């Protein structure tokens, strides 16, 4: 792995927290992700399933984790199944975990090859009542492809039809929503790498450079700092492109007088950063651009102060909307008549600020964790207000990643330039 892994004690503790939440005589089973095909004999880069990674640290395909906390034989309460390697695999694909290496990574003492899985599962199932299986239950998920977990659900139910089957996803969402200090440190590294990329492009951007050249500068800095690359498809949107929320073509030349909106983040150790910044192509904001920019920055800073333990995220989004509404009135984009006549389900401010302000961040960019229960200490959120004025070709979004503390927040992106004056100064060199 390029990244420096966390200690096995972290994963031991995570499995312990899972075991505490399982009812008596339960078994929970987690599968790695598939290696997805492209065309012909091509494949996508492997990305581990985040739940098995969270519980074991194992970052390899064809892996299965079984947790059976009440099994009479203590040696059988945690078992990790791995793909057995051989000389052919070593030559063509490279090194795979040995059993000793898997123990050092996960802290699991019972490591077996996948060829033993069916036999061992039969033994465990005979003394288990509730079977907890995994599925993608993210609120935004639009699942079109059958996953390894989904195939296993069908196989398990067919083979053992009389057991009680239950969902492990709600438990994993609870556990993963609260970040341990080790996770926050990995995310800090991802944010620090993102900062290096942003500072690099501040001295690179000028009229005439292309969006894809800027993208190349980011990826260069990310990879040279042990990241696998972008945490998600990067948005490098100059001019009116910034008004397209998920613009990822990154193909245009940047014009003198325009703004560029960046929504980029590095991953590190499978944890993600998620940054948005907006800068002037020529290094100097116009008066109008600066007015819009400062309005977004004020909304962001107000929003950060509002995120506290006990706050309901839905109420928070409504309150941020009211702050944005005031800023848009001051910018002359909406007026009191617009507000008076607005549809309550789609307030007037949403013409210029149509997305949410915050989402969970972690192993997933839009990380698991409920958006309907109160915020808790240890959660990590993005804070990303924006104003998009299509008729003026102006789009501004500013996004930082913050950790919720007992009495405030900690900004993981506190060192990434965001004040307009600092950005202009750094672009002047």
Residue for token pair 């987690």: 30
CB 178 within 8 A of CB 376: yes
What's the pLDDT score for residue 140?
Answer: 83
Q: Is residue 109 pLDDT above 90, yes or no? A: yes
Helix (H) or strand (E) holding 192: helix 181-202
How high is the pLDDT of residue 94?
87
The whole-number pLDDT of residue 371 equals 87
More confident residue, 50 or 138: 50
Question: What value does the mean pLDDT take over residues 180-184?
Answer: 98
Evaluate if residue 3 carries a pLDDT over 90.
yes
The string of DSSP codes covering 326-352 is: HHHHHTTSS-HHHHHT-BTTB-GGGGT
Which position has the higher pLDDT, 73 or 371? 73
Q: What is the pLDDT of residues 31-44, one digit of tens each?
A: 999 999 999 999 99
pLDDT attached to residue 105: 98
**pLDDT grade for 180, boundaries at 50, 70 and 90:** very high
Alpha-helical regions (H) of 22-133: 50-56, 87-92, 99-106, 117-126
Q: Mark out the alpha helices in 57-147 (DSSP H runs).
A: 87-92, 99-106, 117-126
- The radius of gyration of the chain from alpha carbons, rounded to an integer in Å, stands at 24
Give percent of the chain with pLDDT exceeding 70.
100
* Closest residue by Cα to residue 21 from 169, 124, 127: 169
Least confident of 40-44, 331-335, 397-401: 40-44
The average pLDDT across 162-180 equals 98
- Give the pLDDT band (50/70/90) at residue 88: confident
CB–CB of 193/227 below 8 Å? yes
The answer to whether the predicted template modeling score (pTM) of the entire model surpasses 0.85 is yes
Residue 187 tokens read as 């995310």
Q: What percent of the chain has pLDDT over 90?
A: 93
**For residue 186, what are its two tokens?**
């990995």
Give the C-alpha separation, 335 to 314, whole Å.
25
The pLDDT, as a whole number, for residue 86 is 83
Which helix (H) or strand (E) segment holds residue 303: the answer is helix 287-306
* Catalytic machinery residues: 41, 246, 263, 274, 355, 359, 366, 384, 388, 397, 399
Question: What 3-state class would DSSP assign to 258?
Answer: coil
The tokens describing 389, both together, are: 């004025």
Mean pLDDT of 46-69: 97
Tokens of 86: 């051989």
Average pLDDT score over the chain: 96
Q: Would you kindly state where each structural domain of the chain is located, as residue ranges?
A: 8-177, 181-428
Give the confidence band of 139 by pLDDT, cuts at 50, 70, 90: confident
Hey, what are 228's tokens?
């696998």
Residue 90 has pLDDT above 90, yes or no: no
Domain over 181-428 is classified CATH 3.90.230.10: yes
**Cα 330 from Cα 328, distance rounded (Å):** 5
* CATH architecture for segment(s) 8-177: 3-Layer(aba) Sandwich (3.40)
pLDDT at 89: 83
Q: Which of the two residues, 138 and 154, has the higher pLDDT score?
A: 154
87 has a pLDDT exceeding 90:
no
Question: Cα(184)–Cα(320) distance, rounded to whole angstroms?
Answer: 26
Q: Cα separations (Å) of 194 from 165, 234, 238, 398? A: 42, 12, 19, 14
The pLDDT of residue 429: 79
Q: Which residues, in sequence order, are CB contacts of 110 under 8 Å at separation 6+?
A: 75, 76, 78, 79, 80
Average pLDDT over residues 112-139: 96
pLDDT of the residue at 142: 84
pLDDT band at 113 (very low <50, low <70, confident <90, very high): very high
Structure letter (DSSP) for residue 312: B
Residue 209, pLDDT score: 98
pLDDT at 302: 98
What is the token pair recorded at 233?
């498809």
- Segment 260-272 mean pLDDT: 98
Q: Which two tokens stand for residue 377?
A: 């200490």
- Which pLDDT value is given to residue 397? 98
* Residues whose CB is less than 8 angstroms from the CB of residue 427 and which lie 6 or more positions away in sequence, other chains included: 202, 203, 205, 279, 280, 283, 284
Q: Note the pLDDT of residue 314.
A: 94
Closest by CA to 66, choosing from 20, 112, 9, 7, is 112
pLDDT at 144 over 90: no
Asked whether the predicted pLDDT for residue 162 surpasses 90, the reply is yes
């Amino acid at each position: 792995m390029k990244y420096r892994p966390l200690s096995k004690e972290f994963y031991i503790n995570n499995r312990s927290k899972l075991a505490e939440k399982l009812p008596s005589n339960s078994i929970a089973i987690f599968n790695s992700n598939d290696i997805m095909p492209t065309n012909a004999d091509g494949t996508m880069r492997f990305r581990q399933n985040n739940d098995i990674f969270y519980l074991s640290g194992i970052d390899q395909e064809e892996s299965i984790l079984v947790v059976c906390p009440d099994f009479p034989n203590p040696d059988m309460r945690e078992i990790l199944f791995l793909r057995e390697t051989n000389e052919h695999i070593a030559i063509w694909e490279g090194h795979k975990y040995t059993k000793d290496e898997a123990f050092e990574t996960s802290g699991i003492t019972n490591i077996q090859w996948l060829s033993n899985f069916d036999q061992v599962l039969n033994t465990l199932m005979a003394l288990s009542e509730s079977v907890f299986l995994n599925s993608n239950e993210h609120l935004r998920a639009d699942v079109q492809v059958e996953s390894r977990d989904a195939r296993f659900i069908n196989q398990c139910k067919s083979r053992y039809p009389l057991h009680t089957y239950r969902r492990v996803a709600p438990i994993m969402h609870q556990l993963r929503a609260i970040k341990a200090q080790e996770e926050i440190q990995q995310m800090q590294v991802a944010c620090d790498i993102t900062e290096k990329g942003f500072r690099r492009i501040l001295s690179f951007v000028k009229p005439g450079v292309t969006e894809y050249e800027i993208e190349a500068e980011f990826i260069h800095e990310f990879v040279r700092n042990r990241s696998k690359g972008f945490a998600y498809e990067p948005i490098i949107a100059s001019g009116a492109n910034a008004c397209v929320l998920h613009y990822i073509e990154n193909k245009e030349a940047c014009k003198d007088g325009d703004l560029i909106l960046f929504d980029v983040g590095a991953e590190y150790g499978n944890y993600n950063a998620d940054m948005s910044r907006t800068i002037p192509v020529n290094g100097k904001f116009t008066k109008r651009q600066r007015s819009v920019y400062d309005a977004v920055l004020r909304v962001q800073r107000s929003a950060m102060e509002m995120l506290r333990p006990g706050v309901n995220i839905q109420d928070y989004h409504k309150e941020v909307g009211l702050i944005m509404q005031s800023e848009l009135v001051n910018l002359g984009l909406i007026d009191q008549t617009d507000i008076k006549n607005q549809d309550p389900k789609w307030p007037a401010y949403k013409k210029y600020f149509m997305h949410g302000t915050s989402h969970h961040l972690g192993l997933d960019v839009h990380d698991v964790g409920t958006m309907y229960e109160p915020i808790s200490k240890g959660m990590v959120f993005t804070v990303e207000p924006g104003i998009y004025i299509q008729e003026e070709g102006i789009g501004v979004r500013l996004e930082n990643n913050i950790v919720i503390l007992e009495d405030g927040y900690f900004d993981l992106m506190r060192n990434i330039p965001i004040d307009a004056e600092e950005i202009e100064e750094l672009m002047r060199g």
